[in-house]
Amino acid sequence: MVFRKPPDGGWGWVIVVVSFFTQFLCYGSPLAVGVLYLEWLDAFGEGKGKTAWVGSLANGIGLLASPVCSICVSSFGARPVAIFSGFMVAGGLMMSSFAPNIYFLYISYGIVVGLGCGLLYTATVTITCHYFDKRRGLALGLISTGSSVGLFIYAALQRELIDLYGLDGCLLIVGALSLNILACGSLMRPLESTDSPPPEKSCVDKDPDQYFVYHEKEKTVEENISILEKGYVDEKCANNMPDYKQDSILNKNVLSSINVNEKDTYKKKVVEQTNFCKQLAKRKWQLYLNYWEETMVLFKNKVFSALFVAILLFDIGGFPPSLLMEDVARSANINEDDYHMPLISIIGIMTAVGKLTLGILADFKWVNTLYLYVTTLLMTGLALFAIPFAKSYLTLAMLSGILGFLTGNWSIFPYVTTKTVGIEKLTHAYGILMFFAGLGNSLGPPIVGWFYDWTQEYNTAFYFSGFCVLLGGFLLLLAALPCWSACTSQSSKLPPNTYSYKVASSA
């Protein structure tokens, strides 16, 4: 398949709109799972740590499976993957309405819905990048706000649906709404070229392995034809003989052709195919070795190693509020009449504002994106430390807004990664970091829930969360300080694939 040059417009804006609604529909319920979390606590009577696994799996499994999601989109295309994932998300939500216990929800809501969301995220980002080049940042920024708007709306929507139709009815209706992903996915038309395919010679030059296989098939056909022709001549000569003689001669001809021609051909093909398999295995093994060597080179970079620790600790400590804030308010005995808006909705809308604001700041030349990211981490840690002291809805609402705004630092994380490892290593490094981000998303809420189960209060849990985020922020700040410039000045002596971070004033 040959792709045209990205048009930076045209049908690309339709792709942006449908990708926005796709992320809105698929991430709305998993990000606003804190509303469902309260109902599951009451319905199944399990501990907070065990129940929190449902939401953490739904949000973390997509990041953990990001390599598999990328392979699926590369193999089948964005449109088929989006349509298939729409069935996964809708089916998982509907199956969750019939869950007899919390373990069933681990599969239906945590894994099925989470994996569907991961596939949809990869599909929307991939198809958007195909259609945009110069305006790619704007396009990706617009579609990424779909999940934040979905969190804002679905938090209030699921609460209202639970009051009207109960938990089971809410999940059925939300699952039915997710079927609109199928319509959005059908509009993700791939960017294909209508020109004639390149000449066959160039294809052979680009992929000699395919030519080798084709040559083997062609040679096999020629050998079979020669064998058939020989058998046909022998049969023609034997037509003048009696039947019993014809049968015996034909049997002899067949046996002789098998014993002579086919044995030699078989041995030759076995040798050639064995050599081909050896070369292929050697080439694949070399690719794996190169991957691990490049990974080790990345971890030799002090800033990248600190960034890996920071993103893991940030997701362990910073993600739980979006899932548990409603239960924090209930544990603080806040009157429901004081609720003007669900706390999760506040987190959602402020996350969208934070993504746009921090993304704009990152475009200024005088702003260092790494220091900006470190600032958001330190402020997040302080906000988490303040949650145990919040005893009113107004205070919790303000902290929810602050945490939501700071969580918008996801929009500048690719900038930070690029600044740290270079554009050549961005894909490799970003995949590693997203895997550990998914691991943090999966572990954070259960850990906070277990702290509550042990202590019967959230104070210790959020002190632990704040400590994790602050520790990651301080480690990253320490690694990026100018005092390391003496070490980074020796980067010219390192291998050519090694990237070191040097503090600069440009983003």
CATH of the domain at 437: 1.20.1250.20
Both structure tokens of 126? 């991939």
pLDDT digits over 47-86, tens only? 888 888 898 888 888 888 877 787 788 788 889 999 999 9
Looking at the fold, whether 168 and 300 belong to one and the same domain comes out as no
- pLDDT confidence of 225, banded at 50, 70, 90? very low
Query: Where are the extended beta strands (E) located within 157-289?
Result: none
The total domain count for the chain is 2
* Any domain includes 255: no
Last residue of a domain, one of 194, 212, 233: 194
Whole-number pLDDT of residue 442: 83
pTM of the model: 0.66
Q: What CA–CA distances, in Å, run from 342 to 223, 237, 303, 321? A: 75, 92, 38, 13
Looking at the fold, whether 331 and 446 belong to one and the same domain comes out as yes
Q: What CA–CA distances, in Å, run from 193 to 1, 6, 14? A: 8, 11, 19
- pLDDT confidence of 261, banded at 50, 70, 90? low
Q: Please, is 311 exposed, middle or buried when counting C-beta atoms within 10 Å of its C-beta (0-12, 13-18, 19+)?
A: buried
Mean pLDDT for 207-235 is: 44
Looking at the fold, whether 293 and 181 belong to one and the same domain comes out as no
Rg (CA), the chain: 30
DSSP 219-253: HHHHHHHHHHHHHHHHHHHGGGS-HHHHHHHHHHH
pLDDT digits over 400-427, tens only? 999 989 988 887 777 787 777 776 776 6
- pLDDT confidence of 489, banded at 50, 70, 90? very low
Mean pLDDT for 350-364 is: 82
Q: What CA–CA distances, in Å, run from 481 to 199, 205, 301, 306? A: 54, 49, 14, 12
Looking at the fold, whether 183 and 304 belong to one and the same domain comes out as no
Contact yes or no for 429/417 (Cβ under 8 A) = yes
Looking at the fold, whether 285 and 173 belong to one and the same domain comes out as no
Tell me which residue range forms the domain holding 66: 7-194
Looking at the fold, whether 28 and 141 belong to one and the same domain comes out as yes
Looking at the fold, whether 188 and 52 belong to one and the same domain comes out as yes
* Any domain includes 211: no
Other CB atoms within a 10 A radius of the CB of residue 463 amount to 15
Mean pLDDT for 140-150 is: 82
Whole-number pLDDT of residue 204: 40
* Any domain includes 62: yes
C-alpha closest to that of 24 among 149, 173, 189: 149
Looking at the fold, whether 145 and 293 belong to one and the same domain comes out as no
In this predicted model, which residue has the larger pLDDT, 293 or 177?
A: 177
Most confident of 217-221, 444-448, 470-474: 470-474
pLDDT digits over 153-198, tens only? 998 899 899 999 999 999 999 999 999 999 999 998 887 654 444 4
For all residues of the chain together, what is the average pLDDT?
77
Q: What CA–CA distances, in Å, run from 34 to 16, 325, 345, 420? A: 28, 7, 10, 35
* Any domain includes 202: no
* Any domain includes 217: no
Model confidence at 322: pLDDT above 50:
yes
Looking at the fold, whether 31 and 136 belong to one and the same domain comes out as yes
* Any domain includes 105: yes
- Quote the CA–CA distance of 119 and 71 in Å, as a whole number: 10
H/E run at residue 118: helix 114-131
Which residues contact residue 467 at a Cβ distance below 8 angstroms, ignoring those fewer than 6 apart? Answer: 317, 381
* Any domain includes 490: no
C-alpha closest to that of 400 among 347, 329, 351: 347
Which residues contact residue 317 at a Cβ distance below 8 angstroms, ignoring those fewer than 6 apart? Answer: 380, 381, 384, 444, 464, 465, 466, 467, 468, 469
* Any domain includes 355: yes
